[in-house]
Amino acid sequence: MIWRALLFVLVLVGPAQAEVNIKEVTSPGGITAWLVEEPSIPFVALEIRFQGGASLDEAGKRGVTNLMMGLLEEGADDLDARGFAEAREALAASYSFDTTDDTVSISAEFLTENRDASVALLRSAILNPRFDEDAIARVKGQVAASIRSDLSDPDRIAAETYSEMVFGTHPYGSTVDGTLESLEGITRDDLAAARLAALAKARMFIGAVGDITEAELGPLLDTLLGELPETGAPMPDTVSYDLAGGTTVVSFEGPQSVAFFGQEGIAFEDPDYFPAFLLMEILGGAGLQSRLSNEVREERGLTYSIGSFLVPKDHADLILGTVRSSNDRSAEAIEIVRQEWARIAEDGVTAEELQRTKTYLTGAYPLRFDGNARIAGIMASMQHTGLGLDYIPTRNDRVEAVTLEDVNRVAGELLRADDLHFVVVGEPEGLTSTN
C-alpha cells in the first residue's frame, strides 16, 4: 500500500556525525554487502532487504508474502514457535521481518559473543521455516484482526480507496495484508512458494554495522544466505498513473473528514528529483512551516495536520498528501489546497523560502545519524534505490546545488492542480463525488 511507502531518512552511529566510512564487502561466495565497522560496542546490526516485496503476490493470493514473512520466526527446523522464541531470548538476539509493497526485509541484532549461534538460528528461520498449521492459524488471526481494524479507520479507508482507484488490480492497488477472503485461502504450500519467490539472492541488499570486520562478514553472509535461490518470481509491470482529477466521497460517520489526495509524481532517478524534493518541502513538508500548513492551518484554522510528499516507488511514482478537517470546513480546506498547488506551480517559490529550506535540510541531516540498526537499514535502502557509496558525504552538496530556477521550472512542470484527486472519508458538507 502507498501509505506504507518508504521515506528516505539517512541515519548513523554517533551524535551529529555525517562522515561515514562505508566499505563494500564481497563474500567468498559472491554476496555483496555494505559495512560500517564500529568495534567500540560488542554488538552487530544486520539488515537484509529483498526487492519485490508484496508486489510479488500471485493473483488470488494477496497477502501471502506478508503472511510468509510473519511466520519465519514461528518455528524452524526442530524448533516450534515457543522453542524458537526461547532460543532467541537465550542468545539475547533480536530478529524482525517486514513487508512493504516493494521489499521484504530481515533485521537482526546480536552480541559479538553470540554471533555464530545467532546467525545459525536466523539461518534456520530463513531457509527452513516450519510453517506449522497452528502457527499459520495464529498469525492469520493476527493479520485478520488488523484488516478488520482498518475497515473502521478513516485514514486507512481513504488511503486504500485512493490506491485501488489509481492502481486497480495491480498489487499496489490493495494492502499488503490482503483481504479476509484472500487470507483465508492461503495454504502452507502457498507460503513455501512465496518464500522462494521473495527471498532471492539476485535482488538482495545488505547493510551491516558494528563489531565485525570485512574478513568476518563475508563468511557469515555465505553461511546465512548462500543457499537461497539465485532468482525469484518475476517483477510486476510498471503501472501508469491515469486517475483524473476530482473528488471521491466515502461516507463515514463522525465529526471530521479525512482527505487523502495525490497526483502523478517523479522518479527518484530523475535528474529533477532534488529540485522536486525541495519544492515539496516548501509546499507541504513537515520539517518547517510549509505553505499548506501556513494557509490551511495557521491562517484559517481548518486543520491540525496537513502535509504532502513525494512517493517514488519501484513501479510507479506519486505525490501524495493528507488533510483532516471538520465536516463543515473540509470543502474549504480542499479548495485552499488546490489554490496553493496552482499558485506555486504558476508563481514558483521565493529565494528566501528556498534558502530557509536548504538551511533546515542540511542542518538537520547530520542529526539523523543515530543507531547501528538504523544505519544498517539505511545502507540497504541506499543500495535498493541505486545510491552510491559517496551519497552520504555529498547529499548536502546536492541540496545546496539546487537553484531557484531549477525549483521553479520543476514546479511549473510537475504540479498540476487540476490533476489532484481527493478521496474524502467522512460526512463533508458541500462535497460530492465527481467521478
Domains and their CATH numbers in the chain = 10-225 (3.30.830.10), 246-371+385-426 (3.30.830.10)
Dist CA 88 CA 76 (whole Å)? 12
Dist CA 315 CA 406 (whole Å)? 26
Dist CA 257 CA 435 (whole Å)? 19
Dist CA 79 CA 207 (whole Å)? 28
* Residue spans of alpha helices (H) in 211-329: 214-225, 273-284, 291-292
Q: Encode 194-259 in three state secondary structure.
A: HHHHHCCHHHEEEEEEECCCHHHHHHHHHHHHCCCCCCCCCCCCCCCCCCCCEEEEEECCCCEEEE
- 8 Å CB contact between 346 and 30: no
Q: What is the mean pLDDT of the chain?
A: 93
- 8 Å CB contact between 250 and 158: yes
Read off the pLDDT of each residue in 89-100 and give the average, rounded to a whole number: 98
Dist CA 94 CA 115 (whole Å)? 12
Task: Indicate the pLDDT class of residue 307, thresholds 50, 70 and 90.
Answer: very high
Dist CA 324 CA 303 (whole Å)? 6
**Residue 215: HSE in the Cβ half-sphere, 13 Å Cα cutoff:** 0
Task: Indicate the pLDDT class of residue 6, thresholds 50, 70 and 90.
Answer: very low
Task: Indicate the pLDDT class of residue 431, thresholds 50, 70 and 90.
Answer: very high
- In the chain the first and final C-alpha atoms are separated, in Å, by 22
Coil, strand, or helix at residue 148?
helix
> What is the pLDDT at residue 57?
97
Q: pLDDT for 150-177, tens place per residue?
A: 999 999 999 999 999 999 999 999 999 9
The residues near 338 (Cβ < 8 Å, ≥ 6 apart) are 417, 420
**pLDDT at position 288 over 70:** no
- 8 Å CB contact between 178 and 63: yes
Dist CA 19 CA 17 (whole Å)? 6
Amino acid identity of residue 357, one-letter, is T
For the CA atoms of the chain, what is the radius of gyration?
A: 23
Q: pLDDT for 113-154, tens place per residue?
A: 999 999 999 999 999 999 999 999 999 999 999 999 999 999
Read off the pLDDT of each residue in 401-412 and give the average, rounded to a whole number: 98
Dist CA 77 CA 418 (whole Å)? 56
Plot region of 103 (φ>0 → left; ψ -120 to 50 → alpha; else → beta): beta
**pLDDT at position 263 over 80:** yes
- 8 Å CB contact between 305 and 323: yes
Q: pLDDT for 329-358, tens place per residue?
A: 999 999 999 999 999 999 999 999 999 999
**pLDDT at position 15 over 80:** no
What pTM did the predictor assign?
0.91
Residue 180, Cβ neighbours under 10 Å: how many?
14
Q: Which three cell numbers stand for residue 355?
A: 534558502
Dist CA 86 CA 399 (whole Å)? 48
> What is the pLDDT at residue 12?
27
> What is the pLDDT at residue 366?
64
- 8 Å CB contact between 403 and 410: no
Dist CA 99 CA 105 (whole Å)? 7
